[in-house]
Amino acid sequence: MTADIPPPPPDKVHPAPEQDRSPLPRNVLLLGVTSLLNDVASEMLFPLLPTFMISVLKGTKEQLGLLDGLADTASSLLKLWSGAASDAAGRRKGFVVFGYAVAAIARPLMAIAAAPWHLIALRTLDRVGKGVRTAPRDALIAESTPQASHGRAFGFHRAMDHLGAAIGPLLSFTFLWFWPTQLRLLFALALLPAIPILFIVVIGLREEPRPTGGPKAGGFVFSLAPFDARFRLYLLALLLFTLGNSSDSFLLVRAQELGVRPVWLPILWAVFHFAKSGLTQAAGPWIDRLGPRPLIWAGWSIYAATYLAFGLATAAWHAWALFLVYAIYYALAEPAEKALVAGLVPADRRGLAFGWFNLVIGVAALPASVVFGSVYQRVGPLAAFGMGAGLALAAAMLLAGVPAASKSS
């Protein structure tokens, strides 16, 4: 049985015209800038981790698999804990500050790694920071923003995240063009974006008033009991979709197979993230006008079509075009998925809800990539990408069965 809680607000709201033009709250703007800077630092290094592991530290492909597998698992488990803990504590900011501080320390320390296990440990520590901050940060965004503007708020945040993810690879590409052997120095330079991040979250962020009657100290829970069947069914649909949503690194592998030369892959990756940033910013207000469900359905359907097309593609220009279409999926689905979480649950349990949301994605992501890679290797690209497309369509149909909060949703 679920706990006795007040009914959550509708997941679809039709804002007044002036709400669409109102400035985003201070916390949302600051967290957007923080996310941009953080992804600049992260994506400066991420495309180079395989080279650093295998060529510099003389690691193996198995150790490379452990690098992200262990890190993602730790991050996923911590997202649930930190969301529930921030609900119980009645505060979000401390979790956000700690999470960004841990990542700021871990990344530049990779520059002095002398063995594969050093890099695995530091990458895991970096993801520990992500796990601690993510759910409380998303809950703080929701609490800082009127319900009618959740789509704009999450759209802005994801747009800034993607913009940082586009700038990072361009910076590392430029650095290595002039200093191609200085990987360790590049890793050390990841400290520079972290300095303003810590100033922003420590000095700039403000706690938001919490709903009355919410959980007090000692109210820490991991359970799904506070949530009704609508949220649980949504998590199930999200789990099914994520099982077909393998790592985007396979798209880069496919691009190379189609004839995109390795020297152009960082540029392709940057263009992809620039497209995601602009499109996500544009999609945010539409979430508030139409509700998150239609945009999630559209995004998941575009994902299915794009994956199938990747399996059928035969030329290099197909890869460039499909990456741009794939960016539309991200723009429509990512902020809408978070806005739907905020709309389906009571306000005093949003930290726990975002914890479950991130846990489901994180736990499903590892088997999704392992199975996809196995099918890709043993059967071929059409079978692998077709499998992902089929799971996405099945998830979209399951999402259609999630009961609405009201007749207008």
pLDDT at 140: 93
Please compute the mean of the pLDDT values over residues 338-352 and round it to a whole number: 87
Q: Is 172 within 8 Å of 45 (Cβ atoms)?
A: yes
Q: Which residue has the higher pLDDT, 292 or 209?
A: 292
pLDDT at 1: 41
The answer to whether the beta carbons of residues 348 and 83 sit under 8 Å apart is no
CA angle 175, 185, 131 (to 5 degrees): 95
Q: Let me know the angle formed at the C-alpha of 278 by 276 and 282, rounded to the nearest 5 degrees.
A: 110
The yes-or-no verdict on residue 325 having pLDDT over 90 is yes
pLDDT at position 159 is 87
Q: Where are the domains of the chain?
A: 23-207+227-399
- Better-scored residue on pLDDT, 290 or 76: 290
Most confident residue range from 64-73, 260-269, 340-349: 340-349
DSSP annotation string for 244-310: T---THHHHHHHHHTT--GGGHHHHHHHHHHHHHHHHHHHHHHHHHH-HHHHHHHHHHHHHHHHHHH
Tens of pLDDT, residues 120-155: 899 999 999 999 999 899 989 989 998 888 888 988
405: nearest Cα among 226, 149, 141, 228: 228
Using 50, 70 and 90 to split pLDDT, how confident is the model at 21?
A: low
How far apart are alpha carbons 14 and 37 in whole angstroms?
Answer: 33
pLDDT of residue 59: 81
Q: Is the pLDDT of residue 11 over 50?
A: no
pLDDT at residue 66 greater than cutoff 80: no
- Which range of 210-224, 315-329, 334-348, 367-381 scores highest in mean pLDDT? It is 315-329
Q: Tell me how far apart the alpha carbons of residues 105 and 86 are, in angstroms, rounded to a whole number.
A: 23
- Report which of residues 165 and 394 the model is more confident about: 394
pLDDT band of residue 392 (cuts 50, 70, 90) is very high
Is the distance from CB of 102 to CB of 129 less than 8 angstroms? Answer: yes
Per-residue pLDDT at 18: 46
What mean pLDDT do residues 193-201 have?
93
Pick the CATH number of 23-207+227-399 from 1.20.1270.10, 3.40.50.2300, 1.20.1250.20, 3.50.50.60: 1.20.1250.20
Structure tokens at 303: 């994902």
pLDDT one-digit tens code per residue, 249-264: 788 888 888 998 776 8
Residues in the chain: 409
Tell me what the mean pLDDT of segment 213-241 comes to. Answer: 76
152: nearest Cα among 30, 333, 285: 285
Helix 26-45 and helix 116-144, axial crossing angle in degrees, nearest 10: 160
Those residues whose C-beta lies under 8 Å from the C-beta of residue 94, and which sit 6 or more positions away, are: none
Please, are residues 237 and 399 in contact by the beta-carbon 8 Å criterion? yes
